[in-house]
Amino acid sequence: MRVISVVLFCHFLTAFTALGMPLFLPRMLASLGGNESGYLVGLMFIVPTICTALSAPWWGKFADRYGKKTSLLRAQIGLVLGFLLSGFADSVSMFAIGLVVQGISGGTLAASNAYLSRFYQGKALANNLNLTQSSARLALVSAPIILGLFTHIDDPLMIYRVLALLPLLALFICIGLPKDDVVVSQAVAARSIIAPPTSAQSQTFYKVLWLQFFFCFAMVVTFPYFLPYSEQLGIEGDALSGFYYSLPHLIYLLLAFNIKSITLSAKSQTQLGLVLFAGACLGQFLLHNSTGLWALRILFGLGMVLIFNGLHLIVSRSIEQGSAGLSFGRFDAWGKWAGVIAGIGASSVTQVAGLPFPFLLAALSCGCALVGLKFFYKEVEQHVYAIQE
């Protein structure tokens, strides 16, 4: 209980800045002389994401070989450095370098999940994955509202400099966590490097990764331009826009601790969640004013809760404990690649068609996930039974 509590608290500290600040990229870029709209916002949004996508599998192998706690500590150090570089930037290019360091050296969610996998397995691990998502959602609920009160100061980049203290605090706290077994991890990591990527096990897990890809795309594509989208609907003030942005994550927080009592199968939960999520996105695409936005954001959150829980159940039963670092690294990387493509898609579609159209892309992505889930879930179940035997 002490381990999970410490990991959750420290993940919240690191996620507060990393997940809360991207909403206000238009304000940050404006303070550096950049454009508050257009392709630059989408580009800066995906810079740390693409760097994490490239580095996550490698860091996963690093965790399996040298220890998950070691990997967790290095992720926190990377965020401290990245936040300081962004906070002291005097140009858009220097700010981008800070984002690159955050992306390459970060990955605290994957590192935290891999560390927890050394102490929990099966459904217990799935429940703890829900909890690490809860700490991320708590950051997404609180950070936009709190940070929105300070983004109009003369030097908004100072926020990065102050918030660099949070991952630094997390680092000092996590030093006291128990070490994980590195010997077993080294052996498994060595085998994972030799094993061909076309093995049946890898092919099956890749199909699980496609679910992660489509869901993350659907969620992230609605993020970069939510601030101007909400302003277009008539919402005034960054703090209020931050509240609407955070509302689905508040729903997740309210329900995540009780979601484990649902008796629906992992497949059914994921399917139902995708349907609700797609419906919420279609509603926001068709919306012309802020009336009803709160209801659609709540529906968005309900779908997110069911998808995350179903997906976590599938993943926790599909990974092998010894190679958990690599598995979670890949899982995180596919989510980040989805975020990269989502950022590019959001930038392109808003310039060509308008601010509501990212929500249409999100609904279409949910449809792709539903089709994929229908056709390959039996193969995933067979893979799960093979691991359990």
Per-residue pLDDT of the chain (389 residues; tens, 9 = 90+): 588 899 999 999 988 888 888 778 877 888 887 665 556 777 787 888 888 888 888 888 888 888 889 999 999 999 999 999 999 998 888 999 999 999 898 788 888 888 888 888 777 888 888 888 888 888 877 887 788 777 777 788 888 999 999 999 999 999 999 887 654 444 444 444 434 444 555 566 777 888 999 999 999 899 878 888 999 999 987 778 878 988 998 898 888 777 777 778 888 899 999 999 999 999 999 998 988 999 999 999 999 999 998 888 888 877 765 667 778 888 888 888 898 898 888 888 988 999 999 999 999 999 999 998 887 766 555 554 444 44
Give the closest residue to 112 by CA, choosing from 74, 156, 157, 86. 74
The pair of structure tokens assigned to 344 is 């590019």
Q: What pLDDT does residue 174 have?
A: 93
Give the closest residue to 340 by CA, choosing from 37, 17, 56. 56
Alpha helix (H) ranges present in 195-292? 200-220, 226-232, 238-256, 266-286
What SS3 class is residue 258? Answer: coil
Domain segments of the chain: what residues?
Answer: 2-388
Q: What pLDDT does residue 47 have?
A: 86
User: In Å, how far are 37, 150, 344 from 351, measured between CA atoms?
Assistant: 9, 28, 11
Q: What pLDDT does residue 202 have?
A: 56
> Thinking of the domain 2-388, which architecture would CATH place it in?
Up-down Bundle (1.20)
CB 15 within 8 A of CB 136: yes
User: In whole angstroms, what is the distance from residue 331 CA to residue 326 CA?
Assistant: 8
User: In whole angstroms, what is the distance from residue 45 CA to residue 15 CA?
Assistant: 15
* pTM for this predicted structure: 0.76
DSSP per position, 23-80 = GGHHHHHHHTT--SSSHHHHHHHHHHHHHHHHHHHHHHHHHHHH-HHHHHHHHHHHHH
DSSP 8-state code for residue 319: S
The pair of structure tokens assigned to 379 is 């193969």
Q: What pLDDT does residue 130 have?
A: 85
DSSP per position, 121-139 = -HHHHHHHHHHHHHHHHHH
User: In whole angstroms, what is the distance from residue 264 CA to residue 306 CA?
Assistant: 10
